[in-house]
Amino acid sequence: MTPSLVNPIIPGFAPDPSVVLIGDTFFLVNSTFHVFPGLPIYASKDLVNWKQIGNAINRRAQLSLRQSVTKINPPFKNGEVMLSTGGLYAPTIREHQGTVYVVCTNIIHAVEGGPDISENFFVTTQDIWSDEWSDPIPFEFRGIDTSLYWDEDGRAYMHGSAGPGPMTKIHLFEIDLKTGEKLSEEKKIWDGTGGIYPEGPHIYKRDGWYYLLISEGGTHENHMITVARATEIFGPYEAFSNNPILTARDTDEYIRYTGHCDMFQDQKGDWWGVCLGVRKDSGGRYFMGRETFITPGTWTEGNWPTLELVKSTPKGLAVQDPASRITAKPNIDFVYIRDAELNRYKISEDGKDVTLKACGVDLSHPTDSPSFIGKRQRVLEGASIVTLELPNEPSGARAGLACYKDEHRYVRIFYDTKASAVVFEILNKAQNIHRTTKHEIKVGDSLGLKLEYTEQEYRILYRDSAEGSAEWKSLATVDTLELTNPDFVGPVIGVFALVDEQSAEVRFKDLKIE
């Protein structure tokens, strides 16, 4: 029996999805911005059960995420402040004659003024299960959201969103995929229907028509999916009269901001779309950020696509079908921030014991990589927990558990060996929030640290072995609104270790992140 579809299919930090069907398996990739490894590959046989099987960017030598800096933008009219993070934007996954391609853009944010740079590239693999991806092959394109289409004659066409924002346009050119060289002029093919930021284009062919699916309106409140078609790949493209084909703007639905869609067919030829969206509660909280949703697709009589979002959403993880035949690779879902020094980390095979070399880079650093390892928060209601082992001699380190969104926004609980205190801290520079709470404690040889969450609230707790008590004590509570902003990224929960001068090794055990 096929389990029924629930959304989001990839919960947590999972924007800008793209899907390809290879044999009997669907593969999905998302944007990852500042985290390494980048561009996770999820596999599914049934569109319900998804397991991470790899990362298309998994070697430090492939590229640098150092300038995946997060910018705090001027407030919108409604007072909300958007944050935009550089790094790996909107990838597209495709397969052609046995080679799998992931096309992507690395946005190098200027740290002190100057223009941002968009480095477009693709990586390839002959065996997507192997996690062996090529070095990036760069190509010339000043824009984002690149995608690939092969015509019946075998020619490959790259398309993307280019030009000064917010009035970007959709551009197309023919490309040599051996060299990355442009084989034709780059031509503007569509302006969209008038929404800001026409972006996220994908071309499909059906019954002799080239369909150009894009998003407009910006990736938050006014996001929408629109479509145009042409008989020649370079156009002229004619817009569908019933655009947008999917949007949640001007609604008070729970699933909002739907857009950035990729359509694909299953083995039976039925059409589907994957798009991003947020789950926004009635108080305006959408702390998990942009997640991946699925929508069945149908074609109307006039031969235009329509999409309808599956609205059933659990607070926990969807029930996984054990017969789904794909096993997640252990520890493949651990991530670091930007250009991680991998020799700082030791992880046990079961992922529960983690040793970190503390360093002087804090979570608030815009470019350097702190000693931090974590996983994406996947559930709206749950808990992440770890035991921090404490050495006999104070090491000078501050180490603990953090929920990190970017260098301007995090919540954390840690033990400060110098102050003999357990400390809570929340930072959100985009909302001018910075609070700390400190409890001096007498510690034994370990300290339990816990983040407990619901959609509305984060509870920060600790448990001290010296007091021989199994009781968790509350240190602070945070409204998730305090970490909600229009942004590109999502929460990553993990352990960190910070030290001022001397070096220190910090051991954590029984780590569980959900």
145 counts as catalytic:
no
* Residues in 48-77 that interact with ligand 6LW by CB under 6 A: none
Alpha carbons within 13 A on the beta-carbon side of 5 = 19
Question: Taking CB under 6 A as the rule, does residue 141 contact ligand 6LW?
Answer: no
Question: Quick one: three-class SS letters along 142-182?
Answer: CEEEEEEEECCCCCEEEEEEECCCCCCEEEEEEECCCCCCE
Cβ of residue 218: shortest distance to ligand 6LW, in angstroms? 8
Distances (CA, A) of 204 to 118, 148, 210: 25, 10, 6
Question: Taking CB under 6 A as the rule, does residue 416 contact ligand 6LW?
Answer: no
The CA-based diameter of the chain, rounded to the nearest angstrom, is: 75
Question: Taking CB under 6 A as the rule, does residue 425 contact ligand 6LW?
Answer: no
Question: Taking CB under 6 A as the rule, does residue 31 contact ligand 6LW?
Answer: yes
User: Contacting ligand 6LW (CB under 6 A), which of 136, 200, 235, 448?
Assistant: 200
Question: Quick one: three-class SS letters along 316-332?
Answer: CCCCCCHHHCCCCCCCC
Cβ of residue 219: shortest distance to ligand 6LW, in angstroms? 3
* DSSP class per residue in 431-444: GTEEEEEEEE----
Question: Taking CB under 6 A as the rule, does residue 276 contact ligand 6LW?
Answer: yes
Question: Taking CB under 6 A as the rule, does residue 255 contact ligand 6LW?
Answer: no
* Residues in 9-28 that interact with ligand 6LW by CB under 6 A: 15-16
Q: Residue 387 corresponds to which amino acid?
A: T
Among residues 272, 187, 189, the alpha carbon closest in space to that of 229 is found at 189
User: Contacting ligand 6LW (CB under 6 A), which of 145, 174, 406, 425?
Assistant: 145
**Residue 32 or 49: which CB sits closer to ligand 6LW?**
32
Please tell me the distance from the alpha carbon of residue 459 to that of residue 468, in angstroms, as a whole number. 22
Question: Taking CB under 6 A as the rule, does residue 228 contact ligand 6LW?
Answer: no
**CB within 8 A of 48, min separation 6: which ones?**
2, 3, 4, 5, 6, 9, 318, 321, 324
Question: Taking CB under 6 A as the rule, does residue 144 contact ligand 6LW?
Answer: yes
Cβ of residue 134: shortest distance to ligand 6LW, in angstroms? 22
440 counts as catalytic:
no
Is residue 358 within 8 A of residue 501, CB to CB? The reply is no
Q: How many residues bind ligand 6LW (CB under 6 A)?
A: 15
Distances (CA, A) of 416 to 34, 377, 398, 464: 27, 25, 5, 14
**Residue 258 or 387: which CB sits closer to ligand 6LW?**
258
16, 191, 339, 464: the active-site residue: 16
199, 406, 407, 425: the active-site residue: 199
Structure token pair of residue 290:
């942009």
Query: What does the DSSP 8-state code read for residue 74?
Result: P
Question: Taking CB under 6 A as the rule, does residue 89 contact ligand 6LW?
Answer: yes
Cβ of residue 314: shortest distance to ligand 6LW, in angstroms? 24
Give the interface with ligand 6LW as residue ranges (CB under 6 A). 15-16, 31, 89-90, 144-145, 199-200, 215, 219, 259-260, 276, 488
Active site residues: 16, 199
